[in-house]
Amino acid sequence: MGACFGALLPQSCAPLWEIRGVLPKRLILIRHGESEGNVNRQIYETVPDNAVHLSKLGWDQGQRAGQVLFEIVGREPVAFIASPYVRARETLNAIKKGGDFNMQFWHEDPRIREQDFGNFQDTAKLMSEFKERKGFGRFYYRHPEGGEAPSDVYDRVSGFIDSLYRSFVDHPADNYVIVTHGVTMRVFLMRWLKQSVDDFNNSENPDNCDFVVLERCLAGRKYKLKLAQVVKPLTDPPTVLSAMPLRSSGGQSRVIRDDPPPSQ
């Protein structure tokens, strides 16, 4: 018997999502809003990367991203998948405040987390690693002490994409929205669009709450890059560094805010 069990089941080798015709109309990638770590890198010396919150501007960006997203999808069914990092989950909370979404389901997936740079990060040492990375090649440079290279992120994102097709079958929706991180977005596009390592090395991270919209061609399996970087309406000044105090999580459970903290 061949892989298709002869001619008995002529469609049995076709992917289930293709047989059922459940590919979403759009895949939308959104980078998290401005975080406290984007404002003050020293925070990573005392706060785990996964526990860093959004800044006030990041909450504003997230809600505006939700408004723009709702302009795109309206009341069409939408599914959300988010990185488990606090800043990504808080961005999703802010996005959901921006529109009356017809949300079918949401879940978090650790495979679309940020590239790991090690545990608590020494700022001066990390800057030295960034300089060394330029000579080594960005895609393959692995940060020491438990860190990752983008090539490692590519491997786990590839597994995520494989399970994403199963999710299309189990949870069909016209729109799949993925709230994640800059490098993760770039390797997702590299994998999905079959781009090269050179394409990755020549790309840069999107800005906070920037969009990438992949729209499915009519009656086809392929997606085209419809638009990118559509959220640029904010005129707020950068968040003041001193407004973001350093703190340790103390090993406690995640604190994911539903709303921005009161103004200081």
Q: Catalytic residue numbers?
A: 32, 114
Is 156 among the annotated ligand-binding positions?
A: no
Q: Is 38 annotated as a binding residue?
A: yes
The verdict on whether residue 226 carries a ligand-binding annotation is no
13, burial (CB in 10 Å: exposed 0-12, middle 13-18, buried 19+): exposed
CA-closest candidate to residue 189, choices 210, 172, 169, 171:
210
Q: Is the dihedral of CA 31, 36, 38, 44 positive or negative?
A: negative
Residues 6 or more apart whose CB falls under 8 angstroms from that of 187 comprise 150, 153, 154, 157, 200
6 annotated binding-site participant: no
Ligand-binding site membership of 76 (annotated): no
Contact of 73 with 174, CB cutoff 8 Å: yes
Q: Please check if 263 is assigned to a binding site.
A: no
Q: Which residues contact 211 (CB under 8 A, 6 or more apart)?
A: 28, 29, 30, 65, 68, 69, 227, 228, 229, 230, 231
Q: Is 33 annotated among the ligand-binding residues?
A: yes
What sign does the dihedral 144-147-148-149 (CA atoms) show? negative
Q: Is 87 annotated as a binding residue?
A: yes
User: 125 among the known binding-site residues?
Assistant: yes
Judge whether 205 is annotated as a binding position. no
User: Up-side HSE of residue 154: CA atoms within 13 Å toward CB?
Assistant: 20
Coil, strand or helix: which one is 51?
helix
Q: Which residues line the annotated binding site?
A: 31-38, 87, 125
Q: Which residues line the annotated binding site for substrate?
A: 31-38, 87, 125
